[in-house]
A and B are shown apart, each in its own frame.
Chain A
């Protein structure tokens, strides 16, 4: 039988990762407005924990999709849309790995390593270096805005399929009966 829907675990991962990305992005924007304070330190830590959680969850998701597979795009879509959707999905996956990794490296370079959930110290894989820290910060912020743009495109396309095309593209990533 041909699969038309994502499986339940994949759906859970998708929405959990989505929530973490939106929360981490919003939190980062808020942190940037704060003066140096205990609250700022606390929120930085939360932001880092969210990012590393995305990294772990997206790794699980890639393994899961290679094991269980995913449904093919709905039939009768314009060729260019399939190509663009495919490229967006690949870019999203790539950034879900790269963005947390760059953030992690940035933490190491700035001499404030990541201690996941306040208990698990993650290794530093770049040296403490002020200039490197600045470069990684710029890279992290630039990539974050690219990810935000891609997420917006991805969400707009899903809504377009749901509201204008009235097809099952979004529904098959929503919880419910198959």
Chain B
């Protein structure tokens, strides 16, 4: 069991984007999917989102342990509510989108928790920094689509998001909650 788990981790990590996409049988429905984030600034809760992202997912509710998922987020599509803010967050101190235009999440394991709940683990890479994250999610069949909705906490400074003067967490908090809703069409393999 443990060996199989390891094998699947190595497989998921090793296969990379191209092969994952070849294996994926489900396709993302972008119009119904969302990737957003919430954080506190001067203790004020604020939210933002990314308008463009793609996902190569093979997620079978009956076989969650076989899940493969790679999600790429176009960081230039950030929307924090103002043109000024969008420009600033693409700058060097934040996502530095000219050097690193994408954030990538590659799932390493998905575990069923019962009652339609799952726990996904994997590597999140932003600005060349990779960290393991754990996301809680729910998945339910909605007609022909599979709705996957969840969130995970991350510390922005681990990825140097908001460096320099912005590293002051008294103004913009370190903790960010990433929220996602992925609507997948088609049947998993």
**B-contacting residues of A (Cβ < 8 Å)?**
36-38, 41-42, 44-45, 110-115, 118-119, 121, 128, 130
Contact = CB atoms under 8 A, between A and B. Distances in A.
* Interface residue SS majority, chain A: loop
A89 to B, nearest CB: 35
Contact of A118 (B43, B85, B172): B43
Interface string B60-74: 000000000000000
A92 to B, nearest CB: 30
25 contacts: A36-B84, A36-B85, A36-B88, A38-B168, A38-B170, A41-B42, A42-B42, A45-B42, A45-B44, A110-B82, A111-B46, A111-B47, A111-B81, A112-B44, A112-B81, A113-B44, A115-B42, A115-B43, A115-B44, A118-B42, A118-B43, A119-B43, A121-B44, A128-B81, A130-B81
Interface residues on B, range: 10 to 19
B42 A113 contact: no
Contacts of B44: 45, 112-115, 121
B111 to A, nearest CB: 35
Contacts of A118: 42-43
A37 to B, nearest CB: 6
Nearest to B40: A115
Interface in B80-101: 81-82, 84-85, 88
B43 A112 contact: no
B88 A113 contact: no
A54 B71 CA distance: 48
B80 to A, nearest CB: 9
B165 interface: yes
Contacts of A38: 165-166, 168, 170-172
Given A36-B88, A121-B45, 8 more contacts: A37-B165, A41-B41, A42-B171, A111-B47, A111-B81, A114-B44, A119-B43, A121-B44
B88 A41 contact: no
